Amino acid sequence: MSERVILTQSTDRPCIALFALKKKSDAIIVVPRGDTATLILNNGKVLISYTTSVGKGGQGGEFVAAAVSFKEKWLYCCTDSGLLYCFDLKTGSIEKCLEAADSTITGMCSHPHKGLLGTWSKNKKGGALKLWE
């Protein structure tokens, strides 16, 4: 196995998620803590950006959790303000922006065979697990 650096940034923002795509094996999705995720080729070329600062919703916030739908049609990103963004994976446009929690989302996961998404957050009563179809 050999190592190859394809993307470097001078930033103090950690990467919260990386997704290898089955339908596009020469690319990965990089989701740093911030307002923009990117689809990049293995050579480092950026193909598409997914950002909270444009499109429908547009309320902003920093990504704290992310998931890709099982059919690789959507990129879901939750922000520190409890918003759930649904990006079209091919175009980068925001298809939906929902209030997923009244606090910061602490994690999320997409079902591997169904159109089901789970989000969890910590709130004043302890925690909340929500399922989205």
Tokens of 62: 């920093």
Give whole-number Cα distances, 38 to 30, 78, 89, 97, 98, in Å: 5, 15, 10, 18, 21
Residue 79, domain CATH: 2.130.10.10
pLDDT of residue 71: 92
- Residue 115, in any domain of the structure: yes
Tokens 């209030």 map to which residue? 99
pLDDT by residue for the chain (133 residues), tens only, comes to 555 555 555 456 788 899 999 888 889 999 998 889 999 998 889 999 999 875 444 466 789 999 999 999 999 998 888 888 999 999 999 999 988 887 777 888 888 888 888 888 877 777 788 888 8
Range of the domain at 30: 15-132
Q: What CA–CA distance (Å, rounded) separates 37 from 30?
A: 6
How confident is the model at residue 55, as a pLDDT? 44
Q: Give yes or no for a contact between 85 and 79, defined as CB atoms under 8 angstroms apart.
A: yes
Question: Computed over its alpha carbons, how large is the radius of gyration of the chain?
Answer: 15
The whole-number pLDDT of residue 57 equals 47
Contact 34, 79 (CB under 8 A): no
**Cut 0.95: pTM above it:** no
Total structural domains within the chain = 1
Q: Report yes or no on 5 lying in a domain.
A: no
